[in-house]
A and B are shown apart, each in its own frame.
Chain A
Amino acid sequence: MRIVVLVKPVPDPASAGERLGPDGRLDRAAVPAVVNGNDEYVLEAALKLIEAAGEGEITLLSMAPTNAPETLRKALAMGATRGVHVTDAALAGSCTVSTARVLAAALGQLEFDMVFAGIDSSDGVGGVVPAGVAALLGLPYLSYAARIEPDMDARTVRVRRISATGYDLLEAPLPVVIGGTQALGEPRYPSLKGIMAARNKEIVTRDLGDLGLEGSSVGGAVATTRVLDSRQPPARAATEIVRGSPAEGADRIVDFLVERRIV
């Protein structure tokens, strides 16, 4: 079983230091990068499938600035087999269409049964890249997967897709692109053994030339979208912290809500 997991380094949402740069885009240098949360969920699902199958490999694929291997190291420590890092100065300012083209071109050079991607990323929250990749490759796209059940003999995969009333059961032939969320289950900590083992795992670097793409076909110059304006969210009002025993605390919270006619 060969699974490629699309991985995006994003500014650490827990750092509380996200800020906008002068171009209205996220200032990626301002805070440390981490693996996008939804990508960790699909990576966890991939790791569980490989473990259950007793064989297989997971390749991480990332289009990201030059420092991405540091971030990928964690995903390797979780148990991925290797990494492919696409980086090129011409990719700065890429829109989601460019990103999908580049990832599709990189996938064209890899062998896989399934491509897993987080349904969206915590920085841009566009949510269209996995679908775009599938469309460019002419592959089925199964989104909002809450459970992934491949049948390698039949060369098919079943996915439970979350819906408003329960879940839909989808089936598609392999190869396939699958988008997932936290419904797949908590990602593991990298074990110490995994962290030390990641020392010897390979991260291959590819530039646009390696993928057979022209610098003029992707990147900021041909972006299909433009940031017109962006603003910091308003600061939150002061928080009132209730202390005391649970009983006292509950009384004070009820008083608070009653005063404001919320209950």
Chain B
Amino acid sequence: MAAVTESTPPTYRLTEEQTLLRDAVRTLADERVAPRAADIDRTGEFPDDLRQLLADQDILALPFPTEFGGLGGELLTVCLAIEQLSRACATTGLILAAHELGSLPVIGFGTAEQKASWLPGMAAGKDLAAFALTEAEAGSDVAGVRTRAVRDGDAYVISGSKRFITHGSVASRIAVFAVTDADAATPRHRRLSCFLVEVPSPGFSVSRIEHKMGIRGSPTAELAFDEVRVPVGHRVGEDGDGFAIAMKTFERSRPGIAAQAVGIAQGALEVATAYAKDRRQFGQRIGDFQMVGALLADMDAATEGARQLLYKACVEIEAGSPDAARWAAMCKLVAGDTAMRVTTDAVQVLGGYGYIDEFPVERMMRDAKITQLYEGTQQIQRSVIARALLGKGS
């Protein structure tokens, strides 16, 4: 693998279309999403009104092919939308990011019949998607999944449980990864298969909703599968393709989390900057104190750096770079760490006011933390990058 290659993106600036789209989503986020953000965080309730808004505005259609009612947006376009939504409310940005994540197995690996059957409802934002890979004992170690899918005639019977599933309780199309071949002789990465489970299904239930530090309006569910029968036609890819489908999915979904992180950082930077312009102590604006100004400068530079790496990664992944996994891991790593640092510093700029819910930066700081954890912890991203650098070895 040629890990350290340089290549030139087709265009370096955003196109007019991308700028328009970004601005349209930003306006919508400012006017319709931002006023709801504090309430969503406080109540911890899934904002179905905003899911409907994103559906009505075709934002949830962005990642889907045009022949199935989508808008055919490129990865960068989808990420611009996630970034702008997350700048106002990370939970709302995640509605698009998690919907895309859950849909990617079908978009990328579904048959023509599967796509025709499921994608129109997903593109319309009516059938929300989720991605169910993680289990209580299988987090970073994806191949450690224990949920089983046993072939029974023209169906599979799925048994087991999934944990930390974003949108698990509100989605009606769930990509579930389960072991179809438990033979010890089978390589670990060939044991999993991917299934699209429609909700409701007999035997499927939501057994718990987690109480979280951040992204509190986004329901994170534990799902129970008690002999859930799914037709063979709901298997996405072939038997044993599950692990590969999950890994390819992450190449396109991790940039979405990076976009969420960049959006959170940008939102915090803007709040901190406005505060530093306005707040006066010792007879001057606090932003004019060099120590505060330097904090803001570092926040701005770091956010822009993360954003540019994200945009570059999107262009490279869209162009079919053989290094897609590395680009996806790098942008998510840098953006997640940036969001955590920038939001922490934003709280610092606001001082005591940053620590209370009168201002949104404490929420942003809590929301930022998740971007260092999900869709692969930062440690996993580093291991992906290191493996790309060093080669997989023997």
Contact = CB atoms under 8 A, between A and B. Distances in A.
Q: Which of B20, B21, B25, B72 has the most CB of A within 10 A?
A: B20
A196 B71 contact: yes
A86 to B, nearest CB: 19
Nearest to A191: B58
B183 interface: no
B81 to A, nearest CB: 8
Contact of A192 (B16, B58, B278): B58
Interface string B23-46: 011011000000000000000000
Given A193-B71, A196-B72, 20 more contacts: A70-B16, A73-B16, A73-B20, A74-B16, A77-B20, A190-B20, A191-B58, A192-B21, A192-B24, A192-B25, A192-B57, A192-B59, A192-B61, A192-B62, A192-B71, A193-B58, A193-B61, A195-B17, A196-B21, A196-B71
Interface string B157-182: 00000000000000000000000000
In order of increasing CB-CB distance, the 5 nearest A-B pairs are A192-B58, A73-B16, A70-B16, A196-B71, A193-B58
B252 to A, nearest CB: 19
Contacts of B58: 191-193
Nearest to A198: B17
B293 interface: no
Contacts, number: 42
B139 interface: no
B73 interface: yes
B69 to A, nearest CB: 10
A189 interface: yes
A157 B347 CA distance: 59
A77 B73 CA distance: 15
A195 B27 contact: no
A196 B78 CA distance: 12
A79 to B, nearest CB: 13
A70 B71 CA distance: 21
Contact of B20 (A69, A74, A193, A241): A74
Nearest to A196: B71
A193 B73 CA distance: 10
Contacts of B20: 73-74, 77, 190, 195, 198
A84 B58 CA distance: 28
Contacts of A195: 17, 20-21, 24
Nearest to B71: A196
A101 B333 CA distance: 58
25 contacts: A70-B16, A73-B16, A73-B17, A74-B16, A74-B20, A77-B17, A189-B24, A191-B57, A191-B58, A192-B21, A192-B24, A192-B58, A192-B59, A192-B61, A192-B62, A192-B71, A193-B61, A195-B17, A195-B21, A196-B17, A196-B21, A196-B72, A196-B73, A198-B17, A199-B17
Contact of B28 (A70, A74, A77, A189): A189
Interface string B68-99: 00011100000000000000000000000000
A198 B62 CA distance: 15
Contacts of A73: 16-17, 20
A73 B18 CA distance: 11
A193 B58 CA distance: 7
A199 B72 CA distance: 12
A189 B57 CA distance: 10
A193 B70 CA distance: 9
A198 B25 CA distance: 17
A15 to B, nearest CB: 13
Q: Which of B28, B58, B72, B73 has the most CB of A within 10 A?
A: B58
A201 to B, nearest CB: 11
A228 to B, nearest CB: 37
B299 to A, nearest CB: 23
B50 to A, nearest CB: 15
A191 B25 CA distance: 9
Contact of A189 (B17, B27, B72, B278): B27
Interface in A151-205: 189-193, 195-196, 198-199
Interface string B1-29: 00000000000000011001100110110
Interface string A67-78: 001100110010
Nearest to B77: A196
Q: Which of A70, A195, A241 has the most CB of B within 10 A?
A: A195
B350 to A, nearest CB: 15
A74 B16 CA distance: 8
Nearest to A69: B16
A77 B24 CA distance: 11
Contacts of B21: 192, 195-196
A195 B27 CA distance: 14
A189 B84 CA distance: 16
Nearest to A74: B20
Nearest to B22: A195
